[in-house]
Amino acid sequence: MTTYRPTAWLGLFTLVVMFGSAFLLTKIAVNEMSPLSVVTGRIVVAASTLWCIVLYQREAVTELVVYWKIFLLLALTGNCLPFFLIAWGQQHVDSGLAGILMAMMPLVTIVLAHFFVVNERITRYKAVGFGFGFVGILILMLPNVSTSQVSDWAALIAMLSILCGAISYGANSVIAHRLPKISLTLISFGVLSFSAIIMTLIWLFFYGFGGFDGLLESSNAVIYSVILLGVFPTGLATIVYFSVIRRAGAAFLSQINYLIPLWAVMLGVWFGDELLSWNSFVALVVILCGIAIAQRGSKLA
């Protein structure tokens, strides 16, 4: 039996808290800000945070130039696209529900890795695990499909948007197999810098410089939520994430797939006054069982 250091466990639970809290913070922010403004602000704050760390550590930023293509892909699939899809979806669904939907990410990664990563073929266990996850999603969406009410269809589309965010994260995980062997801080800074440039240009295209006046009218709770999103779940969490992988391995880190949706649901219930419906609870259990089966297959392979 492998014994992991306390620092590895500390890193794991730190990631669970930061990643899982992002859903509630996003829900608070999109109550007043547009999803585009929330995502742009979040990424700009994160890039600024990493910039300060890079300057403090005196990293050689020039190393990043030759890797601009992969950083661009990682920025689009790991930040810009999924952040926007999730933020847009959370205008219509609770944060806990968003956390449950995002639990599909590791199962989506299994399918994508089968086609794009060497020696990552789909096994019987992985196929069954993905099947469980698919059934869990159907259970989650069933009440919205069985009604013709406009509000419920809006929630269904929002759930599909968040699910597409999970697919984008899965693609990002596959692309991350090609990460260069350089400083983790530099990698994080490079990806977030590209993300910040892309989202800022898009935001300026839609809102122009006059859009800053609207941002300043937001409440303190919303502004603080965006800042916290940028500093912790987006900026610092990236460094902790890669650090845990290097210290304890990807298999150890995979346990966050069980804990993040549970933490997101608890925060939504405790602080967001959200209610967990019967189908949400059943879907959560089914999806987590799917992850467990798929990971068992990986260990036996």
Any domain includes 61: yes
Question: Do residues 225 and 28 lie in contact, with contact meaning Cβ atoms separated by under 8 Å?
Answer: yes
* Residue at 213 is within a domain: yes
Please, are residues 49 and 230 in contact by the beta-carbon 8 Å criterion? yes
The whole-angstrom separation of Cα 282 and Cα 266 is: 15
What count of other Cβ atoms lies within 10 Å of the Cβ of residue 300?
9
Q: What's the pTM?
A: 0.86
Domain membership flag for residue 222: yes
Domain annotation covers residue 119: yes
Residue range(s) defining the domain that contains residue 78 = 6-300
Work out how many domains the chain is built from and give that number.
Answer: 1
Burial of 5 (0-12, 13-18, 19+ CB in 10 A): exposed
Residue 1 inside a domain? The answer is: no
With vertex at residue 234, the alpha carbon angle to CA 231 and CA 235, rounded to the nearest 5 degrees, is 55
Residue 275 lies in a domain: yes
What distances in angstroms separate CA 280 from CA 26, 100, 227, one per listed residue? Answer: 20, 8, 30
pLDDT tens-digit profile, the chain (301 residues): 456 678 888 888 998 899 999 999 999 999 999 999 999 999 999 999 999 999 988 888 888 888 889 899 999 999 999 999 999 999 998 898 899 888 888 788 777 877 766 666 778 888 888 888 888 888 887 766 555 555 577 888 999 999 999 899 888 877 877 777 788 888 889 999 999 999 999 999 999 887 777 777 889 999 999 999 999 999 998 888 777 776 776 657 767 777 888 899 889 888 888 887 888 888 888 888 988 888 775 555 5
> Is 249 within the bounds of a domain?
yes
Domain for residue 99, yes or no? yes
Distance CA 30, CA 39 (A): 10
